[in-house]
Chains A and B, each alone.
Chain A
Amino acid sequence: MPTGRVCFRVALGSSFRQRGNTVLLFKMQFMLLFSRQGKLRLQKWYVPLSDKEKKKITRELVQTVLARKPKMCSFLEWRDLKVVYKRYASLYFCCAIEDQDNELITLEIIHRYVELLDKYFGSVCELDIIFNFEKAYFILDEFLLGGEAQETSKKNVLKAIEQADLLQEPRHEYFNVPMY
């Protein structure tokens, strides 16, 4: 078992470690995107967990979030994490953050990601994310790294994606034909 910070206390069944007198509790542990029927569209994990544990967490959390009524606030306490979620059309964007993190800015993070997707796909809808899931991941990985924002400029993120896309070895002379 690797040493170092045990992040997901609940799933790993162990208590979090303390460094000195402080406890580190600012971190996004995972992000999930799922439809209103509970189908997973994207899963990004920033903590090491087994496939079985991930499935269990996903199932439970999806159930919990889907059971929320529209009038309720975007935050819920789940196990010992805070979950920030927001629905955009038919997709739920769901982030699990740790105790000391700022829920309101997490909402902004989610919103920024949606804006990026929107700009990239041009009026993004769920189908775009279904059929181009790998691109959704690429965009996310240009925006967040290890659960933290690496770039706060929308323009720069999109520029980087564009440039990287250009590097992909073309199969056809037209760029927008699928690579794979």
Chain B
Amino acid sequence: MPAPIRLRELIRTIRTARTQAEEREMIQKECAAIRSSFREEDNTYRCRNVAKLLYMHMLGYPAHFGQLECLKLIASQKFTDKRIGYLGAMLLLDERQDVHLLMTNCIKNDLNHSTQYVQGLALCTLGCMGSSEMCRDLAGEVEKLLKTSNSYLRKKAALCAVHVIRKVPELMEMFLPATKNLLSEKNHGVLHTSVVLLTEMCERSPDMLAHFRKNEKLVPQLVRILKNLIMSGYSPEHDVSGISDPFLQVRILRLLRILGKSDDDSSEAMNDILAQVATNTETSKNVGNAILYETVLTIMDIKSESGLRVLAINILGRFLLNNDKNIRYVALTSLLKTVQTDHNAVQRHRSTIVDCLKDLDVSIKRRAMELSFALVNGNNIRGMMKELLYFLDSCDPEFKADCASGVFLAAEKYAPSKRWHIDTIMRVLTTAGSYVRDDSVPNLIQLITNSVEMHAYTVQRLYKALLDDISQQPLVQVASWCIGEYGDLLVSGQCEEEEPIQVTEDEVLDVLEGLLVSNLSTPVTRGYSLTAIMKLSTRFSSVNRIKKVVSIYGSSIDVELQQRAVEYNALFKKYDHMRPALLERMPIMEKSASNGPTEIVQTNGETEPSVVEPKHLPPVTQPVNQANDLLDLLGGNDVVPVIQNTMPTKPASAGGELLDLLGDLSLSAIPPMTAYNKNGLKIDFTFERANPNPNIAVITIHASNSTEADMTDFVFQAAVPKTFQLQLLSPSSNVVPALNQGTVTQVIRVLNPQKQQLRMRIKLTYTLKGSPVQDLAEVNNFPPQSWQ
């Protein structure tokens, strides 16, 4: 059997492969050879074969069949075997495989080997990939080696202990005695790893932290070591660009940070050395800056005095001006962490930070953006926003959403004027309109609604924006909504803030209809524009055109659109008298912090309901279509004093209360009553309580007809006093069959928040045997349970 091909030979051969397939073939051939060699339990060449396997593994090929071979190598007496065996174990095995536990015994033996390099291999492997079980088994050995005087082993044992503690935190205690004089070592390797070990212990356990602070007086020791490093002359062994052992310095600074955090005494004890490091460290190379960076992080985290903190921020400020973009990046990251606590100090570097928005590097730009937003305040809002909007224009798409949200938030908090606020929003919508978050649309709508004096200006600007571009959905949605609300201001050319544009009703409707048909519009947007068109029916005169549009969409395949159109159609036909009230201008919305949906409070210049004026009851022939007919019914001299004495409440309009009206019905035992009984027409009321709102009474009327002929065109109307709110749902039919053959039912919901005695005035109209009949009546006999 010829000797297996050497490792380098194999590497050379594989590299000559010109295609992936060729390489695969070579690898498979070699793997087969290696497998048979393993089967033969060949000790001489096992090392060579495993080494080759590791190479092939790095290329991405499976090598699991070599796992056990690694263990055999580790168990061998030859150093060469052990070296490759341990390497193989670290590459091919991990704690997920049960096989790895077989290593434990070998490692234990090797930890006690006579050759320190073998011990080193074992410590390295354990410290790199030891599982918790292995760590538990071998912790004692590691602890022993931590106390040895051999610095080569001691430093490795320290890091191995770190790993053990990470895997099995409960074992931390056992390493405590061994840490006693770790810091009195001269060997830098041991010092460095000891500091790492102490850091790990202090971070993990507050008790350890307290112990090291108080009992071991760690801070003075660390300060002393650090001082020596800085003050001592050139040491060739540890020098990096003129700085003595920067790795050790950084680790000491980090440990000081942990010790000084939330502890006045420790912080004070390290104050001087921190100032010294901060001022004396050479900053021309990366290594010096690495130390300064760690120093800054420490200063900011401990209870340092203000002078030191300012020093730290200034270091960061200088970093920002450094040519090295790595340094700039690190500065921005740190400033972001400190901007909350040291806001004023960071503000001083604002212009530099803003300049970083123009950096080429994505990470730097992102940090600069976040920091810029953190620095925005009432004083600098105009300037900052200019820069940020410019950034929004030109930045990568990945930033736009965050930037847009940031702009909205900042504008909301610090807007110097309403006009500026609207302009800023417009700018964001037009430049990054497709990236704004979904919740921005309702927020913006609310904002616009509440800026009453800006309505004309806003709708004009939005309209112009729509003429330019209808692809950005959030912009289109906000614009549609505004046009629907304020279209009348648009066509009447009332804008004060800028030159009013001349636009006709037809042109506006053209634009809105255009949105409906455009491929760019999403279903949501279409919904917005249909509703907007509908709203304009009470603001524009071209009602017929609107009616036509609405009826067309009654057969739209989009279910949402269809439903809207059908309902709006119904508004035109049967409920035309309600249309103006339903579609009137939205009141100012206040964002309430309390539960659930926005509470809508009418504060928009509506006059307080004063004493109700006497009104004549309308004559019988008055057309049903008159607006607010019903509400007038209750005006009059016979208004019960109860109404007049009530507090002028603001009747809630469409909104919060209505949402409650849609709550579940629940049965409660309220007795039914007869509300009306005249001329053969009888109307009974049955009651239910609406859950969850007990202030709402749900009344179902049952109209029956005992005459010989049907009552056709039957319409039931009701009015309630001003302290109540009424909602009439559609009737089951408008023919009341003769001779009690059936009933017409209709549901009334009455909101009675003040729990006043329920009263109602009803109006009935129908046609009987060809003649129209109309009657009015008052219903006063409501059972107490229906309103209490």
Chain A interface (Cβ < 8 Å from any Cβ of B): 2-5, 19-22, 24, 26, 40-43, 46, 48-50, 55, 69, 71-77, 102-105, 107-109, 112, 130-131, 133-134, 137-138, 141-142, 145-146, 148-156, 160, 163-164, 167-169, 178-180
Tell me the complex Cα distance, A137–B203, Å: 30
**Structural contact, A152 and B189, CB atoms closer than 8 A:** yes
Chain A residues with CB under 8 Å of B247's CB are: 105, 108-109, 112, 149, 152
Count residues of chain B with CB under 8 A from any CB of chain A: 85
| One of B48-56, B496-504, B685-693 at the interface | B48-56
**Structural contact, B189 and A151, CB atoms closer than 8 A:** yes
Of A3, A76, A105, the residue contacting B132 (CB under 8 A) is: A3
Of B78, B162, B188, the residue contacting A169 (CB under 8 A) is: B78
Residue of chain B at shortest CB distance from A164: B117
**Structural contact, B290 and A150, CB atoms closer than 8 A:** no
Tell me the complex Cα distance, A141–B156, Å: 10
**Structural contact, A152 and B79, CB atoms closer than 8 A:** no
Chain B residues with CB under 8 Å of A22's CB are: 203-204
13 A/B residue pairs, CB under 8 Å, sorted by A = A19-B204, A48-B131, A69-B360, A72-B325, A75-B330, A75-B363, A102-B250, A103-B330, A104-B326, A133-B55, A148-B159, A150-B155, A178-B7
Q: A2-B95, A133-B58, A150-B159 are in contact. Are A73 and B8 (CB under 8 A)?
A: no
1/0 contact string of B236-250 vs chain A (CB within 8 Å): 011010000111101
Which of B354-368 touch A at CB < 8 Å?
A: 360-364
**Structural contact, B162 and A148, CB atoms closer than 8 A:** yes
**Structural contact, B362 and A72, CB atoms closer than 8 A:** yes
Of A19, A41, A146, A180, the residue contacting B169 (CB under 8 A) is: A19
1/0 contact string of B363-378 vs chain A (CB within 8 Å): 1100000000000000
| B328 within 8 Å of A (CB atoms) | yes
| B103 within 8 Å of A (CB atoms) | no
What are the 5 closest A-B residue pairs judged by CB atoms, nearest first? Answer: A104-B290, A4-B167, A180-B48, A73-B325, A151-B189
Which of B148-172 touch A at CB < 8 Å?
A: 152, 155-156, 159-160, 162-163, 166-169
**Structural contact, A3 and B168, CB atoms closer than 8 A:** yes
Chain B interface (Cβ < 8 Å from any Cβ of A): 6-8, 11-12, 15, 47-48, 51, 54-55, 58-60, 78-80, 83-84, 87, 91, 94-96, 115, 117, 120, 123-124, 127-129, 131-133, 135, 152, 155-156, 159-160, 162-163, 166-169, 188-189, 192-193, 196, 199-200, 203-206, 237-238, 240, 245-248, 250, 254, 286-287, 289-290, 293-294, 297, 325-330, 360-364
**Structural contact, B246 and A107, CB atoms closer than 8 A:** no
Residue of chain A at shortest CB distance from B167: A4
Chain A residues with CB under 8 Å of B55's CB are: 133
Point out which of A21, A133, A137, A149 has the most chain B C-beta atoms below 10 A from its C-beta: A149
Tell me the complex Cα distance, A22–B237, Å: 36
**Structural contact, B79 and A169, CB atoms closer than 8 A:** yes
Tell me the complex Cα distance, A41–B54, Å: 12
Of B47, B160, B204, the residue contacting A20 (CB under 8 A) is: B204
Chain B residues with CB under 8 Å of A178's CB are: 6-8
**Structural contact, A152 and B192, CB atoms closer than 8 A:** yes
Q: How far is the CB of B761 from chain A (nearest CB, A)?
A: 64
**Structural contact, A48 and B8, CB atoms closer than 8 A:** no
Residue of chain A at shortest CB distance from B188: A152
**Structural contact, B360 and A72, CB atoms closer than 8 A:** yes
**Structural contact, A72 and B361, CB atoms closer than 8 A:** yes
**Structural contact, A168 and B330, CB atoms closer than 8 A:** no
Tell me the complex Cα distance, A154–B189, Å: 11
Q: How far is the CB of B145 from chain A (nearest CB, A)?
A: 13
Tell me the complex Cα distance, A169–B81, Å: 9
Residue of chain B at shortest CB distance from A24: B203
**Structural contact, B169 and A134, CB atoms closer than 8 A:** no
Chain A residues with CB under 8 Å of B330's CB are: 75, 103-104
Q: How far is the CB of B56 from chain A (nearest CB, A)?
A: 11
Of A21, A71, A105, the residue contacting B290 (CB under 8 A) is: A105
**Structural contact, B127 and A164, CB atoms closer than 8 A:** no
